[in-house]
Amino acid sequence: MIILSIIVLLPNIYYVFYGKHSILSALLLLILSGLFFILPAIFLKKRIFFIVQGLIVLFAPLEAAHIYLNRSPATSAFLLSIIDTNQDESFELLSAIKFPIIIAILFFAFYFFIAFTKISNTYFFQSTKIKLISLLVFIGMIVTGYSIGYNKKIYPYDMILRTSQVFVAKEEINKGKEIMKNFKFDAVKNDSIDERELYVFVIGETGRYSSYSINGYKRNTSPMLAETKNLISYADFDSEANITTSSLPIILTRASAWDYKRSYVEKSFVDAFKEAGFKTYWIADQSANNKFIRRIAGDTDKECFHIVNFTDTTNLDEQLWPSLDKILARNDRKALIVLHILGSHFRYNYRYPPQFEVFKPSLKGAFDYALISAKNKELFVNTYDNSVLYTDYFLAKTIQKIDSLRAVSALVYVADHGENLFDTKENIVFHGGSDFTRYDLHVPFFVWTSDEYNRQYPLKAENLEQNKDKKLSAHHIFYSMLDIANITFPGQVLSNSIASETLQADSVRYLINTNMEVEKGF
């Protein structure tokens, strides 16, 4: 019985020793895990008890994998990525840890063999009085544990809670679809200028503000953007989530971290551009399995998804240019084009061609996951920096293409979230953990405008420049994009627009964490 109990409690024991917490909370966690574990023993016969607990063992590898990657129990975002089997970062990371399936099967077989053959089918407690007293004691202790939030950390109750949250959210999104069908912003263009107007919105991936030389990084990672005329880099812009799937709805809709469910029922600024008479386009080499994205892209005038393979160098962002060129050749009088790029998506070494391998030594191929260690920080940083150098090239060249059309135009670039590269003393790497850092959230945010734009909208151009040091976050994007294009709608709030002189900086920034809870940011 002791061996079986230890097996059931393995994820908890692993978390107590490997997770991030003080000795006191480790001790509390251990005691509470034990209590939660023993609770069913009051009512169940021994063998049934271990068989029921054995079902929990089947899901232990998932919990253990998340603890291994993030030093914290499985989050809603992680479970959602498994349920949806989407090509999200956490899923990619999970699938990369090839859990030795044969060992797992042997392990489960051993567990159930012992449970069936060695455990007698009698009750732990015979007397009803003892049962009742222990039940009361347990309830008291568990209520205490629950009230201080430990229920969210104790396996398997944490996973049951998170999984049910995922299904509730999916249900809400499904219900929202019906409301969204009839949703309208009543957006209109504020003027009727004759010039050709072209707006480009680039959604970057895994961008670290501090890794761009244009933002003061010591390495020359953004030489081409530094030479680009009329380009503004915003100094203090944070994403409102540290994972792609949660961040994109806040960037594209009126939702914010504290008002996230709005993205279930309202459309995006891309839809608002269409209402205002613009042709809209979506060109991407990622997020093909993201239903939120596919709805928006599917409602544009044309969507182009180019996904070759995430896990080799056939998916370079420049493959989007032929589609972009074709769309530009259509000569639409008013158009909005969204480019959703792979940027610095893990694995960084697959994001750039050989001539961008400037910072060495760098990571090679589908590297061994045993390399994920702070002692390899230099390798990670070098490879990441090479991917920034390539994004610099991609963005600057895209701006040159747009600029050559001599249209009234603007290009806005923002990364969905940042990345950790062993920056803090906890040596966090990647993003999407339940403990976020500023490196997860502080992202590069660039706005470029053409000379023609600056002549047409001099006040907006001046405001864009004036607002570049203000404290901003992802919910500003929606209002800003429409205002930059001089589109208005009844719900417009100009104090959220970077093109407005009335822009209000954030006093407090919020974010939505990987368990879909609102927290204060930086």
Distance (Å, whole) CA 439 – CA 420:
5
| Residue 403 or 416 having the CB closest to Zn ion | 416
| Residue 205 or 332 having the CB closest to Zn ion | 205
Question: Which among 157, 101, 201 is positioned nearest to 411, based on CA atoms?
Answer: 201
| Residue 77 or 379 having the CB closest to Zn ion | 77
User: Taking the complex as a whole, how short is the minimal distance between the CB of residue 91 and Zn ion, in angstroms?
Assistant: 12
Distance (Å, whole) CA 317 – CA 340:
9
| Near Zn ion in 284-303, by CB under 5 A | none
Distance (Å, whole) CA 89 – CA 220:
28
Region from 60-68, 237-245, 253-261, 384-392 binding Zn ion, contact rule CB under 5 A: 237-245
Region from 239-247, 301-309, 395-403, 462-470 binding Zn ion, contact rule CB under 5 A: 239-247
User: Taking the complex as a whole, how short is the minimal distance between the CB of residue 340 and Zn ion, in angstroms?
Assistant: 10
Question: Which among 482, 520, 446 is positioned nearest to 199, based on CA atoms?
Answer: 482
What are the residues whose beta carbons fall under 8 Å from the beta carbon of 18, sequence distance 6 or more?
Answer: 67, 68, 71
User: Taking the complex as a whole, how short is the minimal distance between the CB of residue 271 and Zn ion, in angstroms?
Assistant: 22
User: Taking the complex as a whole, how short is the minimal distance between the CB of residue 509 and Zn ion, in angstroms?
Assistant: 19
Question: Which among 73, 156, 148 is positioned nearest to 513, based on CA atoms?
Answer: 73
Two structure tokens written together for 387: 């991917």
Region from 63-71, 198-206, 333-341, 380-388 binding Zn ion, contact rule CB under 5 A: 198-206
Distance (Å, whole) CA 211 – CA 193:
39
User: Taking the complex as a whole, how short is the minimal distance between the CB of residue 92 and Zn ion, in angstroms?
Assistant: 11
| Residue 205 or 483 having the CB closest to Zn ion | 205
The residues with which 231 forms a beta bridge, in sequence order, are 448
Distance (Å, whole) CA 421 – CA 105:
35
Residue of minimal Cβ distance to Zn ion: 244
| Residue 205 or 303 having the CB closest to Zn ion | 205
User: Taking the complex as a whole, how short is the minimal distance between the CB of residue 418 and Zn ion, in angstroms?
Assistant: 9
Region from 105-113, 202-210, 434-442, 484-492 binding Zn ion, contact rule CB under 5 A: 202-210
What are the residues whose beta carbons fall under 8 Å from the beta carbon of 395, sequence distance 6 or more?
Answer: 202, 224, 225, 411, 413, 446
User: Taking the complex as a whole, how short is the minimal distance between the CB of residue 206 and Zn ion, in angstroms?
Assistant: 5
Tell me the CA distances in angstroms from 4 to 39, 277, 445, one per residue in order.
16, 66, 53
User: Taking the complex as a whole, how short is the minimal distance between the CB of residue 349 and Zn ion, in angstroms?
Assistant: 17
Tell me the CA distances in angstroms from 387 to 222, 245, 350, 357, 422, one per residue in order.
11, 22, 8, 8, 17
The 10 Å Cβ neighbour count of residue 204 is: 25
| Residue 211 or 500 having the CB closest to Zn ion | 211
The residues with which 446 forms a beta bridge, in sequence order, are 233, 413
| Residue 65 or 342 having the CB closest to Zn ion | 342
| Residue 205 or 385 having the CB closest to Zn ion | 205
| Near Zn ion in 402-421, by CB under 5 A | 416
| Residue 276 or 293 having the CB closest to Zn ion | 293
How many residues belong to the site for Zn ion (CB under 5 A)? Answer: 3
Q: Mark 205-224 with x for binding to Zn ion (rule: CB under 5 A) and - for no binding.
A: x-------------------
Distance (Å, whole) CA 465 – CA 236:
14
| Near Zn ion in 353-382, by CB under 5 A | none
| Near Zn ion in 61-120, by CB under 5 A | none
User: Taking the complex as a whole, how short is the minimal distance between the CB of residue 239 and Zn ion, in angstroms?
Assistant: 9
H helix runs in 227-289, sequence order: 244-252, 262-265, 269-275
Query: Do the beta carbons of residue 33 and residue 155 sit within 8 Å?
Result: yes
Distance (Å, whole) CA 404 – CA 97:
47
> With binding defined as CB under 5 A, does residue 244 bind Zn ion?
yes
| Residue 303 or 416 having the CB closest to Zn ion | 416
Instruction: Please give the residue ranges that form the binding site for Zn ion (CB under 5 A).
Output: 205, 244, 416
